[in-house]
A and B are shown apart, each in its own frame.
Chain A
Amino acid sequence: MQITWAYISNYFIYSAMGVFALSFFAHAFETAWAVRTPDQSENTEGSLKTKTLDYTRTERAARIATAMMILGFILLLGGVIARGVSAKHVPWGNMYEFSITGALAFTGAYLAALRKYDLRWLGLFISISVLLTLGTAITLLYRDSAPLVPALKSTWLVIHVIAAIISGGVFLLANVIAGAYLYLEAMESRGERKAWAKRLPDLETLDQLSYRLVAFVFPLWTFAVIAGAIWAESAWGRYWGWDPKETWAFITWVAYAAYLHARVTIGWRGKRAAWLCLFAGSTFLFNYVYVNVWGTGKHTYSGL
């Protein structure tokens, strides 16, 4: 029974990867096909933007891409749930399980933001990074489904980890947008935006969006750290011990606190704020990769 569910989970994950790959190609097709050839653009009315770009003819591809993204999300959700059923606990026992859940949170954050903002231009990037994460997870990090070690048997596992994973997904999305800001800013400072980049939101919108995402999720991250401290008190006999994972969670918290202060109080905008946002996000990634793989301390369980 346990083995069967683990297989089902793997099939879900593989199918999700297939669907994310389709989504990636649809996004790529959409981005490439929207560009008019020079002789077409000469015969077209309107501004330079509508002369060189025509998204009406690729709207179908864009819809397919988003539909695939939603389907991928559902399959991935199925994979994560089946993994949990196979192990009879929430699927957050090792790095493979964190990675598939993290990819789920990242896709979820994108789809949730998509309801409010037209972020489909990001889809190309989102689908490829989810694909890479899942690929790494299933090839390098895969571990057989196993019961939890005693230290992880706690209600706090669910509370602490879900808060951390959702925060991580949103932080990364904010990072991608800050990265896009810097890239487009550099492009604009050299002159006009390239044809494919014309449909992307203006710099002001990107700047605001990455800030909103961080401000929205910062309390959740604070909560994740505090829930971890409460759990550590009952499992390890102290609520804070400067374990490498705790230290880096603290550094991430401090970096985002600095980002919010710099933005709101001192009034940093644009490039400087985007760099600071990228720095804060990279402390989170570093915590995830370095401390899990090479680090020592109390947060390393059962291999990875």
Chain B
Amino acid sequence: MDRFDDLSSFDDYRIRTGDLMTQEINIPELGTVGLLRYFWRQLTSMRTALILLMMLGLAAIPGSLIPQRSQNPMAVRQYFIDSPELARWIDRLSGFTVYSSPWFSAIYILLFISLIGCVLPRTLEHYKSMRAQPPATPRNLSRMEAFQEFAGRGSELESAKKWFKKNRFRVRIEDQSISAEKGYLRETGNLLFHLSLILILLGVSIGSLFGMRGEAIVNKGERFISIPTSYDTLSFGKLVNEESVQPFIIEVIDFVAKYDALTNAPQDYTATVRVTNPGEKTSEIKTLKVNSPLTFGNTRVYLQANGYSPIVTVRDSTGAVALQGPVPFLPQDGNLRSIGAIKVPDGNPQLGFVASFLPTYERDGANGGISVFPELLNPKLLFSIWQGDLGLDSGIPQSVYRMDTTKMRRIALDSLKPGETFTYPEGSITFETVVPWINLQIVDDPGKSYALYGAIAAILGLLASLFGRRRRIWIRITPTGVVEVAGLAKNSAPGLTAEVEKFVAHLREEK
């Protein structure tokens, strides 16, 4: 009897020898080609694919428990300080870079090879079977589902043909019977889903090979010119270099941050910027917000963080200006208590200020000064002045927010409000005013549209494969003139009986 194979909706892989968990693996005694073919069959078997899929899920877990370099490099550094021995071992096993580690890559590459090895041949097969006729009408219809028989008038085959055509069945017309089939969308959707996963992976790969990502802090009133040297951090995909940076200009005209008076939580960040596109002389005013980045072709600019830059003037003992301008400070908490370092390298000995900035200063018994609100209600700059060697020539990269005071000596300690000046024997510092800074994240990801198309196709495919129903309906006129009708649904999908009823009703009312 011609029956559907008993696999159903997610039957992306055929069950092959050795697939079932219980079956033993028999390695055939063959040459190199045979051995390769054997490995290929093992790799593309459903069992292997399922194990790889589960392994991929398990392998993703450590990355969510151990801090990752790509997201939180500070936490990784702290891990090395807290438990150096363990950290070294984790690092040896790529535990701080799980998602780019060799073992994680190995799993997903094998999984995708297995997927391709299975889906491509199946696509060809599906294409062939879509063009082929349905199998012949089975001899004994009474043994099929939803069987019915009734006395015919002789025109049933013609009207069945019409009905099948109207309902878009594929038909095989035989002498006294018709075999019709519908619902290939299910397998089409199934294959589309798996092929689109490959497209998503392709999009991700293109993004990481040809993409670019950088960050820059820009003070209010300053211009950011997008050339490689003006970025604070900049990284490229493996197959691109600095030439791929788009040369646009962003001037930060204004930045407004609103906070909730009750909870101190941020409510809105809005930056007003003047944008000059590459190759254009005209510029336009645009608004940059957290959920609405600026777009230059494939490159997008995001508002990622913000903070305060006190504007200070440092003078030497003669009154000459040694340093003047905004110094970005790094926020430490929700009320924007910020830390920073003002380094004055010109001078012998060198001079530096270890400082913290409090937008809304309040005295606190235990901690000295704290900030109680993120807006500038009572701004204050607290600092200690150090003299000696800043260590800038040692070659070790230093944070701009911190100062190495091991070769320095503290000479004074004070705090200032905007407009005030503090004078010490070696000179003076004036806290002029404070401006906000914003952190721009500039990202170029040429692969993301492929990933998006892949994702959309994946959902469509999934829906078709889950809700499509494949079924056959047969009609035969027996030599005695009796009309026999029956059907068969794959995976015993619901609705077959109702459909056969409709078909029969159509046959009987057509005159």
Contacts and interface: CB of A to CB of B under 8 A. Distances in A.
B56 A254 contact: yes
A230 B60 CA distance: 21
A147 B291 CA distance: 16
Interface string A187-231: 000000000000000000000000000011011001100100111
Contact of B20 (A151, A264, A266, A296): A266
B309 interface: no
A187 B63 CA distance: 40
B459 A222 contact: yes
B361 interface: no
A150 B263 contact: no
B299 to A, nearest CB: 11
Nearest to B442: A237
Contact of A264 (B9, B293, B462): B9
Contacts of A149: 265-267
Interface stretch (B36-44, B47-55, B172-180, B372-380): B47-55
Interface string A285-304: 00000010001110000100
Contact of A251 (B11, B57, B448, B462): B57
Contact of B290 (A151, A222, A254, A262): A151
B239 interface: no
Contacts of A247: 60-61, 63-64
B71 A241 contact: yes
Given A150-B269, A239-B448, A218 B71 contact: no
A215 to B, nearest CB: 6
A237 B290 contact: no
Interface in B406-437: none
A258 interface: yes
A146 B9 contact: no
A230 B291 CA distance: 11
A106 B21 CA distance: 35
Nearest to A291: B64
B291 A234 contact: yes
Interface string A231-262: 10111111111111001101100110110111
Interface in B453-511: 455-456, 458-459, 462-463, 466
Interface residues of B, number: 62
B263 A302 contact: yes
B70 interface: yes
A238 B54 contact: no
A240 B60 CA distance: 13
A147 B266 CA distance: 9
Contacts of B462: 218-219, 222
Contacts of A241: 70-71
A150 B54 contact: no
Contact of B289 (A150, A239, A261): A150
B283 interface: no
A20 to B, nearest CB: 30
B375 to A, nearest CB: 15
Contact of B71 (A222, A242, A302): A242
A147 B261 CA distance: 11
B452 A230 contact: yes
Interface in B63-88: 63-64, 67-68, 70-72, 75
A44 interface: no
A264 B99 CA distance: 30
A242 B443 contact: no
A304 to B, nearest CB: 13
A236 B262 CA distance: 27
Contacts of B56: 254
Nearest to A235: B291
A219 B466 contact: yes
Interface in A132-149: 144, 146-149
A265 B15 contact: yes
B64 A248 contact: yes
A254 B46 CA distance: 15
B448 A215 contact: no
A251 B19 contact: no
A265 B9 CA distance: 8
Nearest to A266: B46
Contacts of A237: 213, 293, 300, 302, 304, 441, 443
Interface in B388-409: none
Given A237-B304, A258-B50, A264-B7, A150 B266 contact: yes
Contact of A234 (B50, B292, B445, B455): B292
B267 to A, nearest CB: 5
Interface string B267-292: 11100000000000000000001111
A242 B59 CA distance: 12
A37 interface: no
B347 to A, nearest CB: 40
A192 B52 CA distance: 40
A4 interface: no
Nearest to B456: A226
Contacts of B60: 242, 247, 250-251, 254
14 contacts: A219-B459, A219-B462, A222-B458, A226-B455, A237-B441, A238-B445, A242-B64, A244-B64, A247-B63, A254-B54, A254-B57, A255-B54, A264-B9, A266-B15
Given A219-B462, A219-B463, A254-B57, 10 more contacts: A144-B263, A215-B9, A218-B466, A222-B458, A233-B448, A242-B70, A243-B71, A258-B50, A261-B53, A302-B263
Closest 7 CB pairs of A and B: A254-B57, A264-B10, A150-B290, A244-B64, A247-B64, A237-B302, A226-B455
Interface of B: 7-13, 15, 19-21, 46-47, 49-50, 53-54, 56-57, 60-61, 63-64, 67-68, 70-72, 75, 98-99, 204, 213, 260, 262-263, 265-269, 289-293, 300, 302, 304, 441, 443, 445, 448, 451-452, 455-456, 458-459, 462-463, 466
